Amino acid sequence: MRTKLVAGNWKMHGSLAGNLGLLQAVRDGARGQAEIAVCVPYPYLAQARAVLDGSKVAWGGQDVSEHAQGAYTGEVSGSMLADFGCRYVLVGHSERRSFYGDTDAVVAAKFAAALKVGLTPVLCVGETLAEREAGITGAVVTRQLDAVLANSGVAAFSRAVVAYEPVWAIGTGRTASPAQAQEVHALIRARFVSDSAEIAAGLQILYGGSVKPGNARELFGQADIDGGLIGGASLVAEDFLAIHVAA
Ligand code: PEP
């Protein structure tokens, strides 16, 4: 039985003063069986560590440089995230892919960079609405996974998490139905089975895309859905904790 994980993605939200209550409420209210984590903007990592250290709640970054160090102004390396106690880091979030030019190759390099310093990468994959309507969801998701598998190998996924996030469901209030999500999660797991049945069986595959307290339980009840990556609802402690309990 895989342990479930509920991870929050704060995106570019927060303030030093405003975060405190949210972090404390999540820390003090986390009672679910599932693992729980928050991925916060870089400037708030120290605050997350100060509040969450020693608690059930892990923390992480939302992106990582593919480079270890050097003249890369504005970038943040994996070892810097590790310095702040991060356990997780998102790689390949659709907003990075679409707004900041993260290609499959760049995502694969970031995934490898995260693993190299002991972080657990949460590899985000998913299709756009146009791709779904064109009937190429499976091909898109497989292409995104294959880029990382070719670079890091299947064994790397014993130390990684995959998040299926249909782009059309992120921040739109439009959730994939449990059946739609399960179909893609099963396809993702099947892609790993062909390389290693053992890795496939243990792999946490999260669903992300407008998960709310009202739809979480049914989504998380699907055979291949091992928790969620939560955007908007992770900014409201009560909602995030309700989703955590549902996992
Ligand atoms: C996300 O940011 O990864 C996400 C899933 O956002 P939301 O839950 O708001 O759709």
Question: The domain spanning residue 22 has which CATH number?
Answer: 3.20.20.70
> How far away, in angstroms, is 70 Cα from ligand 1 center?
32
Q: Is the confidence at residue 1, as pLDDT, over 80? A: no
Q: What pTM was estimated for this model as a whole?
A: 0.98
SS3 187: helix
User: Which atom of ligand 1 approaches the CA of 165 most closely?
Assistant: 5
In testing the pocket of ligand 1, which one of 6, 11, 161, 220 has its CB within 8 Å of the most ligand atoms?
A: 11
Give the model confidence (pLDDT) of 120-146 as tens digits. Answer: 999 999 999 999 999 999 999 999 999
Domain count for the chain: 1
Instruction: Tell me how far apart the alpha carbons of residues 194 and 47 are, in angstroms, rounded to a whole number.
Output: 42
Cross-strand pairs, 36: 6, 57
Q: What is the mean pLDDT of the chain?
A: 97
**Residue nearest ligand 1's atom 7 by CA:** 231
If we measure between CA atoms, which residue out of 115, 117, 116, 208 comes closest to residue 157? Answer: 115
Give the range of the structural domain holding residue 118, as residue numbers without chain letter. Answer: 5-246
**Residue nearest ligand 1's atom 6 by CA:** 231
Q: Is the confidence at residue 106, as pLDDT, over 90? A: yes
